[in-house]
Structure 1
Amino acid sequence: MTWAVNSCFVTLAILFLWRVEEIAEACSCSPAHPQQAFCNSDVVIRARVVGGEEVDAGNDIYGNAIKRIKYDIKQIKMFKGPNQDIDAIYTAPTSAVCGVTLETNGKEYLIAGKLETDGRMHVTLCDFIESWETLTATQKKSLTQRYEMGCDCKITRCTSIPCTISSPAECLWLDWVIEKSVNGEQAKHFACIKRSDDSCAWYRGAAPPKKDFLDIEDP
């Protein structure tokens, strides 16, 4: 009987550790407004993906080989980044460790990511990566005219009512409570811009239907 109980505990312990490892390997990201993604990224480019392959990226501290997926790209425009063209981006090999899967048939993307110390651009599932054709006119315009103007502002995501801001330099992001989506009207059609008095407010670009959160609209 004792042996059976001990065996049961061992089995449960193994299952528990396996579950912990599985959870640890999962990729989890905090939703970000496109403006936040722009401001937090080292590099933001429009590019065409033309190829991809698995490559070695050195060894970890235990001597095990580190694999990465290298995507060859043709840079079309750089919105933010170093004074050099980016010809490849790197990502983890699986989505479990935040690896990104891109189409390699020449599809165009907006790609935001980090610049590593060796000059390579690295991207994860937590970065803002979207098909160029799915971006709204406001999002495309904001990449060159709006988002950077609001990088000193803080966008606070509201997850349930009531929610408030703690500073005039914040914009309240209400997409989740209004539309149950982080890709709602504010994400698609608004940018949070700093005013002359250092407060921040939402500005609308292209003309979607007006919402309750609208502060200022383009003339």
Structure 2
Amino acid sequence: MSCYTLRFMALGLLLLAMLEQTEACSCGPSHPQQAYCQADVVIKGKIVGSKMITRDNSDDSHGFPWIEYEVQQQKMYKGFEKIQQVEYVYTPLADFVCGMVLGPDEMNQDYILSGTVEADGKVYINICSFNRPWSQLTHAQQTSLDGRYKDGCRCKIVPCLSLPCSLDADNQCLWTDGIFTGNWSGAQSQRFTCVMKPKGLCQWVSAPSSRAHSSPLRREAH
């Protein structure tokens, strides 16, 4: 049994004790474009190492351990003005406080990573942000990172949580993946961006895709 496995087994026992008095992490629906726009930094990179740390001078009153992931940055999509190069990202070592905890088989993969840059100059990520293996992104999502998501940041994506759904401003797009299919990773999440047209009206636009054209998006409210 590797040292890596033994270390995480020991930490798992610690976290189980903490879990009894801690509520589970809950993330609201977040469209990839919305996650991009809200993040300070968005990069593509390979996670090549990890270690447990404690946050010095942190306001974290719970005292949770943290993971420092070593990253080989391949491309930066957002955050040039905040950080030159991302070499490490940080996350709580517990999924019940929204930590992005990876197992050994999830390491050494290319990821899209989005997070915040805090006062200490470090990049912090969690499972509620747009952080996932690059191979799981659709072609449309990958290409939208090169500019379409940025162009849509003047728009607001509003998830439809219960019927009837409505919008109250021209700069909004109604996101209905979850209400119709029960899965927020549907067509609008995988293939569409919300962009601003002339006169400040935002609407869904299909992103370029290398795959065969699928069924058209059902009509949304404006």
Output the TM-score relative to the length of structure 2.
0.81
2:69 is paired with a residue whose SS is strand
Indicate if the aligned counterparts of 2:48 and 2:69 stay in contact, CA closer than 8 A.
Answer: yes
2:49 is paired with a residue whose SS is strand
| RMSD (CA atoms) | 2.4
CA offset digits 1:100-152 (Å, max 9, x no partner) = 11356310110111111121100112111111011011111111121111111
Structure 1 residue runs of 5 or longer lacking an equivalent are 1-17
My pick for the range that moved more, 54-63 or 171-180, is: 54-63
Alpha-carbon distance between aligned partners in 1 of 2:59 and 2:202, rounded to the nearest angstrom:
45
Match of 1:91 in 2: 91
2:34 equivalent among 30, 33, 36:
36
Alpha-carbon distance between aligned partners in 1 of 2:100 and 2:214, rounded to the nearest angstrom:
31
Alpha-carbon distance between aligned partners in 2 of 1:22 and 1:64, rounded to the nearest angstrom:
10
CA offset digits 1:146-170 (Å, max 9, x no partner) = 1111111111101222101001111
- Residue 63 of structure 1, CA deviation: 8.9
Match of 1:132 in 2: 134
Match of 2:25 in 1: 27
Whichever residue aligns with residue 47 of structure 1, its letter is: G
Output the TM-score relative to the length of structure 1.
0.82
2:219 equivalent among 186, 199, 213:
213
Say which one has the larger Rg: 1
- Residue 213 of structure 1, CA deviation: 3.0
Indicate if the aligned counterparts of 2:100 and 2:127 stay in contact, CA closer than 8 A.
Answer: yes
Alpha-carbon distance between aligned partners in 1 of 2:183 and 2:39, rounded to the nearest angstrom:
22
Match of 2:70 in 1: 72
CA offset digits 1:190-209 (Å, max 9, x no partner) = 00001121110000012332
1:44 is paired with a residue whose SS is strand
How many residue pairs get matched?
Answer: 196
Alpha-carbon distance between aligned partners in 2 of 1:47 and 1:197, rounded to the nearest angstrom:
38
Structure 2 residue runs of 5 or longer lacking an equivalent are 1-17
Whichever residue aligns with residue 219 of structure 2, its letter is: F
1:22 is paired with a residue whose SS is coil
**Which is richer in strand?**
1
Indicate if the aligned counterparts of 1:185 and 1:208 stay in contact, CA closer than 8 A.
Answer: no
Alpha-carbon distance between aligned partners in 2 of 1:70 and 1:146, rounded to the nearest angstrom:
31
Alpha-carbon distance between aligned partners in 1 of 2:179 and 2:59, rounded to the nearest angstrom:
44
Match of 1:58 in 2: 56
